[in-house]
A = this chain, B = another copy of it.
């Protein structure tokens, strides 16, 4: 896919700084209040450098997102290796809520970008989708979960949770969504 050409040392360094700074801003939730040019200065590089590395806000977001997704996928695999399938799925989904709760701004920012022009981020989230699909498939295999609903539905529900992050009773409602999904998955009819 991405035939990563070896990046020059300083270029790599700047790229890393940009991503790190971006994650920071994302997390604070200030990403959209900030002029893109100013972001370059904040990161200590020229605007040209910023734009060469990340032509748009979306590409930058994708880079940050990649790290998130990788971490989540690791967690999924680890759970799958150490717990019964149904429990792994439940634990993972509950954990997702914790994770989103802990990274409010980031979740909101990503949700916004996701809804906007889904192309860029959709690609980045492919791995996450795969991980969830695997978790569900394993649970189906165990007979713990019905086989007539697509794993994509679980993704959708998660997406709703992330996107609605600013609702007053978010945490309780998010937990309820997971409860509904898990209970709904359990009964074959």
Contacts and interface: CB of A to CB of B under 8 A. Distances in A.
Contact of A173 (B111, B114, B153, B164): B153
Given A111-B163, A112-B115, A163-B111, A179 B184 contact: yes
A39 B173 CA distance: 38
Number of copies: 2
A56 interface: no
A76 to B, nearest CB: 19
Contacts of A156: 157, 160-161, 164, 167, 173-174, 177
B166 A118 contact: yes
A169 interface: yes
A185 interface: yes
A181 interface: yes
A58 B114 CA distance: 18
B172 A150 contact: yes
Interface in A133-189: 149-150, 152-161, 163-164, 166-167, 169, 172-174, 176-177, 179-187, 189
A152 B176 contact: yes
A69 interface: no
Given A153-B173, A180-B184, A163 B166 contact: no
A184 B164 CA distance: 20
A122 interface: yes
